[in-house]
Amino acid sequence: MSVGGSLSRRGALFVAGVVTAVAVLVVVFVVVLGKGNGQGMRDSRSFDDGGDYVEYMVGQMSLEEKVGQLFMTYVFGDAADTANADFVAANQDAHGVDNADELFERFHVGGVIYFSWADNLGDPVQIAQLSNGIQDAAVSSGAGVPALISTDQEHGLITRIGDPVTALPGSMALGASGDFEDARLAAGISGQELAAMGLNYNFAPVADVNVNPANPVIGVRSFSSDPGVVAELTAAQVEGYRFHVAAAAKHFPGHGNTDVDSHVALPEITHDRQQWELTDLPPFAAAIEAGVDSIMSAHLRFPSLDASGTPATLSEPIMTGLLRDELGFDGVVVTDSLEMEGVRADYSDAQIPVKALQAGVDMLLMPADLEVAFDAVLDAVSSGELTEERIDESVARILRLKFDRGIVSSPMVNVDRVDAVVGSAKNTASAQDITDATTTLLSNEGVLPLDVDSGADVLVTGVGEDVTASLAEQFPARGVNAEALATGVEPSAEQIARAVAASEDADVVVVLTRNLRSSPDQVALVEALIGSGTDVVAVAVENPSDIAYMDAPGAAVATYATTASAVRSLAGVIFGERDATGRLPVDVVDAGGEVLFERGHGLSR
């Protein structure tokens, strides 16, 4: 089913939701296959209730099989049974297995996460075939439980699967639109296409509130600095995703007010409990109210929530006391990657999974050493540090998620339908409509819309060879000559001089920037172009705060993205063919903390 078009788009999403709900309510026939303990085909019975299925499976599974369900990791290769020497070597180095088939046979893992660097993500048909191969491996080994198959398809800055998948606006772009229905539709389209490729679990949306402009890891991945906006759009995206795939709101208890990247160190949140309730809590509360399947933990200290300073992922007061008991969340709690230094700073790779389970976490994502982590949990049960009843609690939640999302009843996908769904014309048109509502005009000294004679010359320069070329291609059809001259994120003095020389022959310069706050070379490029005397249109293609790090250009625009739809929307604004209706979802502040443009600012012309 395709998704698109205003009222029809809502109808399509509604129908999809009804179909999913009906599929869950009907009697599900589950054939449980297993190689474990030499039992072969264990049983074949029907389940019309997720509770019955969970109770039966937990009672049948061995401890090793139950512990395996707690883990989600990556596996190298473009096929589950790959014999490619490079993939085999990489898998042996990472997990001591040859491929996904052996990963399930050895560890009985509950899920797999896809990455390009693991060579999982080729074209949509290949991804769907890989997904089917993984499901076959899952149901043919151990307890015969289908797998969760996930990725981080947030869109915008974090987009794991690219073209021909429909490119949708990221979180901050959607915040610039502020439209609940557009945010829900974007998630619905993304979920529909992920499901067509066999992915059933997306680590999105980001529920963090962007209250710290210096945040190095969240930034434009957040919808806004306004907790109300983030709460509304988080709920919208949870609703949209859940028509098709499980969603995970992240990163609890809130990663928006950090100036440290938890991938490389352990951040600390310094605000108090009352501020947390006003700022960080609303989006997670909204996600829970919207029925979110899963919540991902953050690797950070939050002393006002746990005075011990234990990272939230390993904190019982946060994961159980706060999330389970106070907020009433009984879905799957999944960790952020356990390879990240934020959680490994003070604990060994054997301690981490045990402490996370003790804290109340259910699923352990990407342990640094799967064998060490797997054995550590088994040893903890053997020693009494963990009880098997505690393991059963998390396994039950994971199995219930798989049952409720239809993964147990229908783990495989129809490969023949993939190309008709992924990147469909209807989805692409809907993505363009959504994107057109996000482009934000920050300032304009009469430069826009361009009033250029036929045959005028425009220089398009700055970051990104693909995006500068793509934007330059928009001009000839409008009777304007355009030259693309990419200079990258760290332009050299020679590149800057070349761009300035080219600007002297141009009537207008459009310079694309990305994160000037941390790029003095880009700042030098922009300043040199402004100083050349040619009218300059500065376009922030990621963070709108770029305008705070330059002298006033002739005009400044924020697109929040470099997708084809963002480029088309930008061209329409440049030529006055459409209004820039986006509004800043965050304050734009300079290096000294002065607010230059308040949240909600935006010019129509």
Measured in whole angstroms, the distance separating CA 1 from the mean position of its chain's CA atoms is: 23
The answer to whether the CB of 259 falls within 8 A of the CB of 216 is yes
| pLDDT for the residue numbered 262 | 80
DSSP codes joined into one string, 539-580: EESS-GGGGGGSS--SEEEE-S--SHHHHHHHHHHHTTSS--
Of all residues in the chain, the percent with pLDDT exceeding 90 is 85
Residue 401: name the closest of 116, 200, 159, 602 by CA: 200
Assess whether 324 and 465 both reside in one domain.
Answer: no
Token pair recorded at residue 496: 């800057």
Q: How confident is the model at residue 525 (pLDDT cuts 50, 70, 90)?
A: very high
Decide if 38 is inside a domain.
Answer: no
pLDDT digits (tens, 9 = 90+) for 144-180: 999 999 999 999 999 999 999 999 999 999 999 999 9
d(CA 66, CA 463): 48
- Name the helix (H) or strand (E) containing 585: none
d(CA 335, CA 299): 8
Residue 435: name the closest of 159, 155, 168 by CA: 168
The answer to whether the CB of 203 falls within 8 A of the CB of 158 is no
What's the average model confidence in pLDDT over 325-354? Answer: 96
The residue written with tokens 């989805």 in the block is: 427
Question: Strands 481-486 and 294-297: what pairing?
Answer: unpaired
| Backbone phi, psi, residue 204, to 5° | -165, 160
Q: How confident is the model at residue 545 (pLDDT cuts 50, 70, 90)?
A: very high
pLDDT digits (tens, 9 = 90+) for 62-82: 999 999 999 999 999 999 999
Which stretch of 201-205, 212-216, 365-369, 431-435 has the lowest confidence by average pLDDT?
A: 212-216
End-of-domain residue from the set 392, 426, 460: 426
Decide if 379 is inside a domain.
Answer: yes
Assess whether 531 and 420 both reside in one domain.
Answer: no
End-of-domain residue from the set 381, 404, 426: 426
d(CA 356, CA 362): 8
Measured in whole angstroms, the distance separating CA 574 from the mean position of its chain's CA atoms is: 30
Decide if 27 is inside a domain.
Answer: no
pLDDT above 50 (res 18): no
Token pair recorded at residue 466: 């693909």
Q: How confident is the model at residue 605 (pLDDT cuts 50, 70, 90)?
A: low
Decide if 90 is inside a domain.
Answer: yes
Assess whether 444 and 485 both reside in one domain.
Answer: yes
E-strand stretches of 102-245: 111-113, 148-151, 153-155, 158-159, 201-202
Assess whether 318 and 189 both reside in one domain.
Answer: yes
Decide if 21 is inside a domain.
Answer: no
CB atoms within 10 A of CB 433: 16
Which residues are part of the catalytic machinery?
336
CATH code for the domain of 533: 3.40.50.1700
DSSP letter assigned to residue 322 = I
pLDDT digits (tens, 9 = 90+) for 119-143: 999 999 999 999 999 999 999 998 8
Measured in whole angstroms, the distance separating CA 197 from the mean position of its chain's CA atoms is: 17
pLDDT digits (tens, 9 = 90+) for 233-281: 999 999 999 999 999 999 999 998 887 778 878 889 999 999 999 999 9
- The pTM assigned to this predicted structure is 0.91
Assess whether 173 and 302 both reside in one domain.
Answer: yes
Token pair recorded at residue 527: 């300043």
- Name the helix (H) or strand (E) containing 56: helix 50-60
What's the average model confidence in pLDDT over 403-418? Answer: 97
End-of-domain residue from the set 403, 426, 449: 426
Residue 169: name the closest of 224, 220, 214, 122 by CA: 220
d(CA 112, CA 104): 10
- Name the helix (H) or strand (E) containing 421: helix 418-421
d(CA 543, CA 442): 12
Assess whether 366 and 468 both reside in one domain.
Answer: no
Instruction: Give the three-state DSSP class for 441.
Output: strand
| pLDDT for the residue numbered 427 | 98
What's the average model confidence in pLDDT over 375-394? Answer: 98
Of all residues in the chain, the percent with pLDDT exceeding 70 is 92
CB atoms within 10 A of CB 35: 15
Separation in Å, CA 65 to CA 102, 112, 174, 200: 14, 15, 41, 21
d(CA 122, CA 297): 29
What's the average model confidence in pLDDT over 335-349? Answer: 93
pLDDT above 70 (res 39): no
**Looking at this protein, which amino acid is placed at residue 225?**
S
Assess whether 382 and 447 both reside in one domain.
Answer: no
The answer to whether the CB of 47 falls within 8 A of the CB of 28 is yes
CATH code for the domain of 112: 3.20.20.300
pLDDT above 70 (res 46): no
Decide if 84 is inside a domain.
Answer: yes
Decide if 538 is inside a domain.
Answer: yes
Tell me the residue range of the domain where 457 lies. 439-597
Sequence-distant (≥ 6) Cβ neighbours of residue 404 within 8 angstroms: 24, 50, 293
The answer to whether the CB of 597 falls within 8 A of the CB of 547 is yes
Q: How many domains does the chain have?
A: 2
pLDDT above 50 (res 86): yes
Write down the mean pLDDT value for the chain: 92
* Bridge partner residues of 444 (DSSP): 555
Instruction: Give the three-state DSSP class for 427.
Output: helix
**Looking at this protein, which amino acid is placed at residue 141?**
S
Token pair recorded at residue 337: 């990657």
CB atoms within 10 A of CB 598: 11
Residue 336: name the closest of 366, 316, 362 by CA: 366
Assess whether 563 and 421 both reside in one domain.
Answer: no
DSSP codes joined into one string, 284-304: HHHHHHTT-SEEEE---B-TT
| pLDDT for the residue numbered 19 | 39
Q: What sign does the CA torsion over 204, 208, 213, 215 have?
A: negative
The residue written with tokens 């797998």 in the block is: 147
**Ranked by mean pLDDT, which of 3-7, 10-14, 216-220, 446-450 comes out on top?**
446-450
Sequence-distant (≥ 6) Cβ neighbours of residue 383 within 8 angstroms: none
CB atoms within 10 A of CB 19: 13
d(CA 73, CA 69): 11
Assess whether 174 and 298 both reside in one domain.
Answer: yes
DSSP codes joined into one string, 467-510: HHHHHHTTSGGGT-EEEEEE--SS--HHHHHHHHHHHTT-SEEE
Measured in whole angstroms, the distance separating CA 227 from the mean position of its chain's CA atoms is: 19
| pLDDT for the residue numbered 508 | 96
Assess whether 448 and 411 both reside in one domain.
Answer: no
pLDDT above 80 (res 183): yes
Assess whether 220 and 286 both reside in one domain.
Answer: yes
CB atoms within 10 A of CB 18: 11
Decide if 54 is inside a domain.
Answer: no
